Amino acid sequence: MPATRAAEWLDPASGLGMGLDDVQPGTFNMTIATDRYTCPDYAAREREVIWMRTWQIAGRADELPKPGDWKKYDILDQSFLIVRGKDGELRGFVNACRHRGNALCISETGNAKRGFLCQYHLWSYDLDGRLKGMLRENLAGPIDKTENSLLHVSVDSFAGFIFLNPDPEAGPLREYLGEEVVSLLEPYNIERFTTVMDVTEAIECNWKVVMDAFEEGYHINGIHPQLLQVLHINPQTARYRFFQNHSVAMAPFEVVGAGVQDQVAGILALPETFPGTVAVIPRFKELIAPYQDEDGNVDFPAGVTARLLLQQATREVLTGMGLDVSGLTDSQMVDNQGWVLFPNYFMTVRAGECHVIMSAPHPDGDPNRCIWHVASYMYVPEDFREAVRAEAIVVDTPGSHKYFEALQQDYEQMPRQQKGLRNDRLDHMSLVKEEVVIAHYHSVVDRYMADTAHR
C-alpha cells in the first residue's frame, strides 16, 4: 500500500491536505507581475532555466509500441528524437547528425527498425544511437565512431506518459515528481487508458495564461455557467496539497444545496461534458430505479444520495470492464482531482478517465503566443481500444476546430486575457485566495527564474 492512500489526504483529520483557511497570509505571493507574460527577455530566460532543465511530457508510451518506432519532440528551437529500442526500452537523442548537424528526422513519427540514416551524407546510427557507418568510410579519415554517436537526452515514463528532459545533467524522473506524487497517482492505472482526444493548436496567449486558466475554478460562474448544474466549487470544501514543484486540488463533484431531482438530472446530463460517464449512466439508472415513482420522481431514504449511487455505479462498471480501482476511494470514482506537474502539465483525473492540458512557448519565441495541447484518455477494454483511439490533430487554421463546450469557452477566453495583459500600465495581477494553486505555481516559476547558477 502506498505511503499515503490515494485520497487519504482529502480527510481534514489526516493533516495532509489543506483548506483555504489553512493557507496563511504570506504563504505565497498573490501579486503576479504581468511582464512574465509579455516580455521577450523574460521568455528568453525561461528557455534557459525552465524549458532546458525540466522533465516535460513528450507523448504516450503506447505511441511507440514496436522496436524502431520513433517520434519527434520539439521545444522552442530544440529538437529531439524518442525511439523504442530492440530491447523495448525508450531512448532519447538530440535530433542532429554528428557529422554536420543535419536534422535526422523532419516528420513527426515513423519507424526506423534498421536505425537512423542522415539523408545529407548518409551517416547511419543504430537504435542505441551508435554511429554505424559513413559514406566512403575508408576515405573518411580518423573518425572515432564511439565519440560521434548521437547525443543522448534523458527519457523516462510514468503513468503511460513519456517524459523528456533536455538537461544532460537531469536527475531521475521519479525524484523530480517525488515519491508522494507517484504514490498518489499510481492507483488510477492511467497507463492502461486509451487516447480518445488529441489536439494541438497555436493560440494567441502566453503559455502560462493557459496554465493559470486551468488551475482555478473561480472562473466557472463567469465562463462555464452550464457546469453549475453538476459542479459547485465551494471554497470551504476544496482541499489542496502542495509539493516542491507540483500540486493537487479537489472540489467535490456535486451541487451543494440542490434538490434530489436536480442532482439526478445533473448526473444524467454528465455525458455531455464528461464523456467517460457514458458507460456508467445505465448502471446508475438501475440503481436509482427502486427509489423512483411512476412519474420518475426520486425519493431517497436517509443515507442514500445520488452522489453515492454514482460512486457505486462507477466502481461496479469499471471493475466489470477489467480496470483495477481497488486503490481508489469512493470519492475518486466521481471527484476530479486537478494535478499540476511543473512546468506545463495540468490534468483532471477520476476513476477511468483523465483530461490533460499542456502548453509550451511558441517556437518563434513570441511570449504572446503559445502552443496548447489538449488530450483526453479513458479506460476502454482492450478489444475496443483501437476502435476508439483518436488520431492526433494539428489545427492549422485558428478557430476551425470546435472543442467540447467548456473547453471552447476557455479557448475563446484566454486570448482576451493576453490582450489585457499587454497594456503597459497594468504591471501586476492580484490573485484572490481561491487562486492559491496559481500562486503556488508561480512560486515555482520564481524559484527557477531566480536560480543564479544557470544565469
Residue corresponding to grid cell 490573485: 431
- CB atoms closer than 10 angstroms to residue 160: 18
Q: Map 282-330 to HEC letters.
A: HHHHHHHHHHECCCCCECCCCCCCHHHHHHHHHHHHHHHHCCCCCCCCC
Distance CA 79, CA 73 (A): 6
Helices H / strands E in the chain, number of each:
13, 20
Distance of CA 299 to the CA centre of its chain: 40
Model confidence over 55-100: pLDDT tens digits?
A: 999 999 999 999 999 999 999 999 999 999 999 999 999 999 999 9
d(CA 160, CA 372): 20
* CA–CA dist 322, 381 (Å, integer): 7
How does DSSP assign 337-353, residue by residue?
A: EEEEETTTEEEEEETTE
Q: Sheet containing 193-203: give its strands across.
A: 239-242, 247-250, 337-341, 345-350, 353-361, 370-379, 193-203, 393-395
d(CA 274, CA 262): 18
Q: How far apart are CA 138 and CA 117, in angstroms?
A: 18
Report percent pLDDT > 90 for the chain: 74
Residue range 176-185, pLDDT digits in tens = 999 999 999 9
pLDDT in tens, 176-221: 999 999 999 999 999 999 999 999 999 999 999 999 999 987 677 6
Q: What's the pLDDT at 267? A: 84
Euclidean distance between CA atoms 352 and 337, whole angstroms:
13
* pLDDT surpasses 60 at 317: yes
The predicted-structure confidence for 320-360, as pLDDT tens digits, reads as follows: 999 999 999 998 998 889 999 999 999 999 999 999 999 99
Strands 124-125, 116-117: pairing is antiparallel
- The three-class DSSP label of residue 150 is coil
Give all domains of the chain, ordered by start, each with its CATH number. 12-52+183-259+329-450 (3.90.380.10), 56-169 (2.102.10.10)
Q: Is the bond preceding residue 398 a cis peptide, omega within 30 degrees?
A: no
| Residues with Cβ within 8 Å of residue 285, at least 6 apart in sequence | 268
Q: Is pLDDT above 50 for 2?
A: no
